[in-house]
Structure 1
Amino acid sequence: MFHKSYKVWFSILLIWTIISPSAKLFNLQIFKGLLLLTGISLIIQIAFDKNFKFKSWNLVILLLYILIISLGYLIGIIKGFHETAYEEYLAFLAPVFIISLYQKKYISKHHVIKIIFYSVLTYSILKVIIAILISLNIFHFNDFSNFTAKTFNMSFISYPMHLNLNIYRIYYVNDFLVSIMPLFLLKDKVKLKKELKPLFIAIFTLSILLSYSRFLIILYVFLVLVSVTRRTLWLKESKDKTIINLIKIFIIILISIWLLNKSMIIDLASSRFYLEDNYSADTIREQQFGVLRDMLVNNIWTGFGIGSYDKSFIRSENLFSYELQWLSFASKFGIPLFTAFIFVIFLYIKKNVFLNSQSLLILSAVFSVGFFNPYLQSQIFGVVLLVIMIFYDKEMKNTQTKTD
C-alpha cells in the first residue's frame, strides 16, 4: 500500500543522497524525484493517521525560515540576479528537505542510523577500491573522471596526491559525512562485531585521506579525539578501567603511526598542509573575503539578495557559491535579515537538540564548515544535521529524565 511506503522512499532518498556524488543521473533529476515521492508518501501516511500531531514549534520555525529566504530571493530578483536566484533558493532548502521529511513516528531512529552508516561505508569502500584500481593502472584517472562527468553530470577538482604511487585526490561533498563517522563509534548506535570495527575505521580513514581536504581531515581527527575522550574519561567507569583503556589507546596510536609511516600515508596527509597549492587556495580565500566584505558594506541593510555574486570573482559553476559561506550569506541577506536567519537556525537547534558539552562541540565543528567550504547549502549537510539530531534527541533525553 502506497500510504505505508514512506519508510521505503525515505530510505531510498537517504541512500541515494549519501552514495551518489550528484543529484542527477544522466540528466535525470533523481534527487528531486525521490524528494517528491517521499513527500507524497509522507503526506498520504499522515492523512491516514488520525493520531498524528504536528510539532507546532517546528512548523513555525520552518515557516519563518522559508519567509526569510523568500525575502532574500525577492531582493535577489530586484537586484537583477534572475538566473541564479531560484537556483540558490533551492540550495537553501536542500538540507531543510532532508530534516523536514524525517518523521520518527513512521521510521525508527535505529533504522535511519543503520541506513546512514552502511551507505557511508559503501561510498567509502567504492572510493577506496577506485583509488586502488587507478593506482594499479587497471584504469586511468581520466577515464574515471570522464565517467563521473557523463554519468552524474558533474565535474570535480583533482590532482595527483603522489605521482610515484599514482594516487589521485577523490573529493566530493559526500566526504563531509565520512568525516563525522567517529560519532557512530562515540554513540555506539550501530552494533558491530569487534573484529570488524578496526576494518571499518581503516576504510573511513583512507576515504577521508583521499578527500585531501584539510578541513575534513581536521574534523575527522577532532571527532576521533572527542570519541576517545568520552569513552575513557567521561563515561562512568572505574579508575583502573580508565587507565587500562588509556594505555590500550596509546599502544594502538603508536602502532597505527608506525604502520601509516611505513605506508607513506602520513607523508601524504601531512603534505596537504604544506603544499604550495595551499598558499594559492588561502590567497584566493583572502581575496574572496575582501570581495564579500565589500559587497556587505555596500549593502549592509538589505544585502544583494539570494543568487547574488561578484562578476569579477567567480569561484565555480554555481556562480553564487563561495567557500566563505557565512560571510557570503551576510552579504546576500544584509545584517538584519542575516541576524534573523541565524536566530531561526539557533532556535530550531535549541528546540530539537539536547545541548551539552559534547553536542555543542560537535555542532560548532560542523557549522564551522561554512568558513572553509560551501557545504551548508547541500542535502549532505541535511543528513549531517539529521545524525546529530538523532544522536542528541532532546525529546528522548527529556523522556529519559522524567522516567529516571
Structure 2
Amino acid sequence: MNYAETMPCFRWTFRLVLLTLIISCAEINEFRCAADDDRESVPDEKKVSQLISQLDSPSRAERVQAERSLIQLGEQAIPALEEFPTDDPVIAIHLDRIRLAIRKTAATETLEGTRFSFEASQGIGIQEFIRNLTEATGNEVVTDPPSLSRRIQFHGDDIPFWQVIDDVCLHNDLGWRTSSQSVVLSTSERTRYDVADYVKCVRIGGTVQRQRQGFRQRRRGQLIRVEFRLDVEPQVVPFFAQVFDRDFELSNETLTATPFNPDAGHELLFRGGRTAVFTVDFQTNSETIEFPVNASGFITLFCAARREPITVALNSREQTPDNRVRLEGISRTPDETIVRLSVQLPHNADELRSHRLGLLHRDVKLHQNDGQVTSPTRIELLSRRGLLHSLEVRFPTGAEATHLTYGMPELLTFLPVPFEIHGLERN
C-alpha cells in the first residue's frame, strides 16, 4: 500500500480520536464543576463556625469581613447561625443582625416578581400554556371551567407575570380574577383596569371613575376620581397596604392634578385575598381636561415573601414535628371544633404594631377524616408574650379531623411600590 495514500486516513482517524478526548474532558470538567457547585451550595459547618468566631475579633476589618461573608452564604446558613452556642452578648447581637440581613435580602429577591419567557407563535392549548406558566413562575394559574379548551398564541421573553396574564386575556377574549391561592382565567370575566403598571410582584391598575366641575380658590376647576386596584402574585402573602393621597399625582402634557385631600390615607386589608381597591380624588384649575392622563403614586405593602405550611396532628399522643406551632387543646360540639394553638412567629414580626399581629394568623385549615378541608369562622388572639402567641381557632364542623395546617409567614417585609400608569381614559 502506498504510504502517501494512507496518510489522509490516519490523519482523519487521529483527528476523530483527539476530538473525542476533548469532548470527554469537557464533560468530565462540567460534571466536576456541577459537583463543586452542589458542595458550595451547602455551607461548611467548620467555615461557618470559624466566621462566627471572627465576629469577636479585636480587628474591626476582620469582624466586618466575617459578617459580610456570613451574609453572602444566604438562607442556607441560617440554621447554623441559630444553632451556634454562645453566651457572648456581642456575638449574639451580630448573629441577630446577620440573620435579619439574610432574610431581608432573600425577601427582596423573592418580591422582585417572577418573569416568564415562552415561544408559542404557532399556537398552543391553553391548558398546556398555563401548566408551563405555573411551573416557571411558581404562581398557580387555573381556568374556569377547568376543562376550558382554547388555542392561544404567545411570544415573549422575560415578561412580568401579571403582564403575561393581561396579554393572554387581551388577545384571547378572556378575563381573570384572583382567588386565595391562584389566578383564574375565565370567559365570563371582564378585566377592569385595562391600563396597568407591573412593579416587582405587584400589578397596579387604574380607571377614571368620575369627573365633575369643582371650585378651587374661587376659580372654576375639575375634580377627578381615579379608582386603583392592587393585585399581588399568588406566591406572595399580602397582609395590608398603606396609601397616602399626598403620594399621588395626575398629569399629561397640559395638566397637573394634585390630590383634593392630601392628608387622606388608607390602610387596605387583604383578609385572605390578594386584591385591594381604593380611590383618590384629584383637583385641577383647568376648566377642561384632555385625556388620556397618567397617574403616578407610591404604596407600601406589608407582606410575606412566602408561606410555609406546618402540619399539626390533632391526636395528642403524636408529636408535632415543628415546635413553632403546638397544639394546646381541642374541644368539639356537634356544630363546632375549637382548637387552641401556641405559635412562635418569625423574628421580624415585631416590626408590626400590636393591633396588626392578628393578621399573620389567617391561614389555618382543618383536615377532616373524610378528606374535606375547612376554613375557620373565627381566629382569636388570646394572649401574647413577645412573639409567642396563644390562639383560639373555631371551625364550623364537629366532624372528626386528623390534623390542621398552619401557614407560617416567612420573610416578612414592608415592600415599597412606586408606580406609573400611562394612558388613563375617561369612562
TM-score, length-scaled by structure 1: 0.31
TM-score, length-scaled by structure 2: 0.30
The structure whose RCO (Cα within 8 Å, separation 6+) is larger is 1
The structure richer in helix per residue is 1
- Quick check: which has more Rg, 1 or 2? 2
